[in-house]
Chains A and B, each alone.
Chain A
Amino acid sequence: MSVSTSTALSGVTRAEYCVIACAEAWRDNGEVLASPMGLIPSVGARLARHTFSPDLLLTDGEAMLVGPDGTPEGWLPYRQHLALVTGGRRHVMMGASQIDRFGNQNISCVGDWERPTRQLLGVRGAPVNTLNNPVSYWVPKHSKRVFVEKVDMIGGVGYDSAAAAGPTATRFHRIPRVVSNLGVFDFTTPDHSMRLASLHPGVTVEEVFAATGFELAVADEVPYTRDPSAAELASIREVIDPRGLRDREVRG
């Protein structure tokens, strides 16, 4: 295993690499709804639409489908959103309080479900999302508390759970990527266990291993997350997130 020295462009922040890594989740998705949850995925989805995936649909975070300048182009109240999920023309990027080696995700509670040590949101739409349309994840603080051997409550269905549940679960199930503040991860291994796909410039493989609570598959050569183009940087900094809110979610 070897890693070349960091090729970070001077001045590109970690948050901006995270934005690029999130945006790439929606490359070549065609005319589908991009549902980013969280700030950096939202900036990423808008960047993808601004640049290489212009056919994506985006919402205003409530019930309107809106163009890049905020012009409404459609209506998507929750009831229609849920129908769109099951129709499959959507790629959501959810958060994860816990995620495990096979992509099972938890935002419900920590500890024993019967009496949790820490109650979180509940499963929300994770079960319906993961069985019906591609689901990626965003983790702003990569740590062993998040990347765990087994999640306490499976809301988002992972590859092993889907396989055990049979064809109803596997038919439309896909987890394209997990993006964290340290790198990009996917499940393109023979057993669909999580793999380190790229490191954000400035991060080492050892750093990722130390922050991950399970054995992570890794290639002999780990690439770096690609650099943003000058045009992409300008889009992020001047159009999509001029107030720099992204740097509050991920520093450095």
Chain B
Amino acid sequence: MGDKTMTADEAVSRLESGMTLGIGGWGSRRKPMALVRALLRSTVTDLTVVSYGGPDVGMLAAAGRIRKLVAPFATLDSIPLEPHFRAARESGSLELMEIDEAMFMWGLRAAANRLPFLPVRAGIGSDVMRVNPGLRTVTSPYEDESTGLPETFVAMPALRLDAALVHVNRADRAGNGQYLGPDPYFDDLFCEAAATAYVSCERIVDTAELTKAAPPQTLLIKRLSVTGVVEAPSGAHFTSCAPDHDRDEAFQRLYASMPWPEFAARFLSGDEQAYRTAVEAWHEEQR
């Protein structure tokens, strides 16, 4: 088994402007924020971002890195509306493919299964069809037993990704990834739908350690769908990463209320270590 460990900056150096980038997690939950911060330090831009959106989307939008967003929502969970996503939409600077949560999942599944589309009921009759004129429908070759008529569904196109970024609790050096919180979200699907996938984790452990304390069902991500492994303690900060750390609600409130240039200058002008030091210093000030 090859050693796939690398730094966040090395992972990001493999990305290119114009790529379609999937970002794992959900809202403000287990987002690969250290990788997003590395992306913000790079010059990579003009991205198509595919995400169950949270502050990952907000930060990349605020920094002007997103050309097009594919998402069913963007939220900070405890703060319902993502401020920078809102600002980008209201200023017209963000192209959006707005789809339903289930359509999004089926788009990833189609890509992971190398299918051009999968049929979904969701979307029919809603304005998702109006605002996405490129979405087509597909009619079943079978008649519905109750009506004798074939049903027509949305043909949700595959959401193929050039790269995926996800964050999990543990991984080994080969890229076997493990979640230890209540929900895997869709991180395995993001990796399987992508040509390359970068997995950051709270801690890199020996392969044998993965199954010592947790059942094998927690081994969400297989190394064959992983390109690089990044050890990033608190790498989901300020989103939640149970059981390693909860969401940093106070800091999230700061993020949501502070003007972006000020926030970026104070917390994002240095490397990851500088970020952590700046966050600690801010928390000290609050005491």
| A157 near B102: Cβ-Cβ < 8 Å | no
- Which residues between 157 and 203 of chain A lie within 8 Å of chain B, taking CB atoms? 157, 161-162, 164-169, 171-173
For chain B, the bracket of interface size reads 35 or more
| Distance in Å: Cβ of A242 to nearest Cβ of chain B | 22
Instruction: Determine which residue in B75, B126, B152, B184 has the highest number of CB atoms from chain A within 10 A of its CB, and name it.
Output: B126
| Distance in Å: Cβ of B176 to nearest Cβ of chain A | 20
Output the nearest chain B residue to A85 by Cβ-Cβ distance. Answer: B102
| B127 near A116: Cβ-Cβ < 8 Å | no
**Out of A86, A122, A169, which one reaches B98, CB within 8 Å?**
A122
User: Taking the complex as formed, is A236 at the interface, i.e. its CB lies under 8 A from any CB of chain B?
Assistant: no
| Distance in Å: Cβ of A229 to nearest Cβ of chain B | 34
| Distance in Å: Cβ of A151 to nearest Cβ of chain B | 8
Interface string of B125-169 (1 = CB under 8 A from A): 111101100000000000010110101110000000000000000
**Out of B75, B126, B146, B147, which one reaches A127, CB within 8 Å?**
B126
**Out of B53, B71, B89, B152, which one reaches A109, CB within 8 Å?**
B89
Q: Which residues of B contact A126 (CB under 8 A)?
A: 100, 126
Q: Which 6 A-B pairs have the closest CB atoms?
A: A122-B73, A165-B125, A128-B122, A169-B125, A63-B182, A128-B102
Q: Which residues of B contact A124 (CB under 8 A)?
A: 72-73, 100-101
User: Taking the complex as formed, is B261 at the interface, i.e. its CB lies under 8 A from any CB of chain A?
Assistant: no
Measuring CB to CB, which residues of chain A are less than 8 angstroms from any residue of chain B? 62-64, 77-79, 82, 85-86, 108-109, 113-128, 130-132, 153-157, 161-162, 164-169, 171-173
| A115 near B90: Cβ-Cβ < 8 Å | yes
| B121 near A168: Cβ-Cβ < 8 Å | yes
Output the nearest chain A residue to B152 by Cβ-Cβ distance. Answer: A168
Number of cross-chain contacts by CB at 8 Å: 141
**Out of A64, A86, A121, A169, which one reaches B124, CB within 8 Å?**
A169
Q: Which residues of A contact B75 (CB under 8 A)?
A: 121-122
Measuring CB to CB, which residues of chain B are less than 8 angstroms from any residue of chain A? 26, 53, 71-75, 80-81, 85-86, 89-90, 92, 98-103, 105, 120-128, 130-131, 144, 146-147, 149, 151-153, 182-186
| B124 near A165: Cβ-Cβ < 8 Å | yes
How far, in whole Å, are A85 and B126 apart by their CA atoms in the complex?
17
How far, in whole Å, are A63 and B26 apart by their CA atoms in the complex?
13
| B71 near A122: Cβ-Cβ < 8 Å | yes
How far, in whole Å, are A142 and B5 apart by their CA atoms in the complex?
55
